[in-house]
Structure 1
Amino acid sequence: IQLYHKWDSICRKYFLKDQSDRQPESRMSFNQLIDRIIEDFDQLPLTGESRKPRVGLVGEILVKFQPDANNHAIDMIESEGCEAVVPGLLDFFMYCFFNKGWKAKNLGTSRLGAVISDAAVRFMESSRRHMSRALAGTNGKFRPPVPISHLGDKAQNVLSLGNDSGEGWFLTAEMLELIEDGVPNIICAQPFACLPNHVTGKGMIKELRRQYPEANIVAIDYDPGASEVNQLNRIKLMISTAFRQRLNQPDCSETAVNSSQKTEYALN
């Protein structure tokens, strides 16, 4: 926790260009800053205890990232003795551009728009390449993100990439990636009556459970009129299932395979 707060403070000053800060970190390049952060966290000793059950949080973009919108779901997960896993924000922006190519090929939309969008995706991928390589050098302690094209390949095995309203196929892809990365316990958070999420989130749960019997997914509607007690009870029930599954399957071999695949992506 202390290490997190240390780097949180440094990063805030770094990006706000605080001229009063005299720490050496304030004069680093962005890549040097990334290297120092990953190096510090990589040096944290592991206690040797078994890993806590991991619970992923996906869903509508606001409800996923805004604690007040999801009734502080991350705090709830951690207070129940689990490790929270939240996929990053940059992938969502890449998803928004990625589908232009699919539309140009299958729906006859502007090819120029597809070319521009492809360039935008490649730029965003390049912006995190240094971070991905640094994460790949931690020998599995931290895993680099996968390319958006890889998420698209996963999703189209379950649904069409033409599902691009709201979070669209990207939501399904996030759940697939979490499950294959050893995080079968997932909260799919959505505003009440959010149609895209009901189709590509809640609507995909049955198929995901068919393909991955260990999948432990719960869809939670968040709305000012929704019962918070009901939300908490459903999350706690999912977490209790996660602990039972953890006793039966302490480790997933697929996790190690997926980790090596991510390392390969990062080094390419």
Structure 2
Amino acid sequence: LTNRGIEVVIPPLLAFFTQNFVNIDFNHRNNVRKTRFTERKIQDLLHSTVVSRIKQVNSLMGKFKQHLEPVSTPESLAGHARKVISLVNQAGEGWLLPGEIIAMAESGIHNIISLQPFGCIANHVVAKGISSKLSRLYPDLNFLNLDMDAGNSDVNLQNRLDFFIHSAKSNAHHITPS
């Protein structure tokens, strides 16, 4: 993509490791899994520490001359995800995948490729399942699911990417700066 003049934006890996804070709270509140009092207190302490650090990082990033996207808290990503999926979807990346896609769409990124590696059926199902809801919520969104399995032909992947790039570039010509 970068060789074709396209800027690639990759969501921070931090969200993958912090989504569990939301999962534990959701599961406890909805009687999916009960947690002991001490476990909850330790979890709350860790969670507040992580959120505090995220806020510090965002504050520092705001001082850079070039624009850097702020790091999202697990709660903000969960809030985005709730627009299209229940937080009970926790297998694979579960609700995190739509949360990150919506965060990107709302920050002005209108061309998103979701790579589904190594036969991760949970991510595949979620990505396919949210596509129509995302299209309704974000009509300017150009969204492509790519399954990166060994059985997929390189030609098929390349063709799908070429169509995506063509669509992205033609849509960019129709956008007027505000």
Instruction: Give the alignment partner of residue 149 of structure 2, picking from 223, 234, 240.
Output: 223
Which residue number in structure 1 is paired with residue 27 of structure 2? Answer: 103
Aligned length: 176
* Unpaired segments ≥5 residues, structure 2: none
Q: Is residue 83 from structure 1 mapped to residue 7 from structure 2 by the alignment?
A: yes
- For the 8 Å contact 1:101–1:117, the answer to whether it is kept is no
Alignment of 1:180-195 (within 5 A): 180-191=106-117, 193-195=119-121
Distance 2:44 2:80 in 1: 19
Given that residues 23 and 90 in structure 2 are in contact (C-alpha distance below 8 angstroms), is that contact kept between their aligned partners in structure 1? yes
Paired residues for 1:154-165 under 5 Å: 154-165=80-91
Is residue 16 of structure 2 the alignment partner of residue 92 of structure 1?
yes
Among the aligned pairs, what percent are the same residue?
A: 32
Number of the residue aligned with 1:214: 140
Structure 2 equivalent of residue 132 of structure 1: 58
- Report the structure number with the largest CA radius of gyration: 1
Structure 1 unmatched ranges of 5 or more: 1-76, 254-268
Q: Scaled by the length of structure 2, what TM-score is found?
A: 0.89
Does the CA-based 8 Å contact 2:21-2:74 persist in structure 1? no
After superposition, the C-alpha distances for 1:76-116 in whole angstroms (9 at most, x for unaligned) are: x1111110000011111000232100100002522334443
SS at 2:113's partner residue? strand
The one-letter code of the counterpart of 1:191 is P
* CA distance in 1 between partners of 2:63 and 2:176 (Å): 25
Could you say what secondary structure the match of 1:111 adopts? coil
Greater RCO structure (CA 8 Å; 6+ sep): 1
> Contact between 1:154 and 1:173, CA under 8 Å: does it hold in 2?
yes
Deviations 1:223-247 (A, max 9, x none): 2221112112111211111111111
Q: Distance in 1 between matches of 2:26 and 2:176?
A: 40
Select the residue among 75, 79, 102 that pairs with 1:176. 102
Partner of 1:147: 73
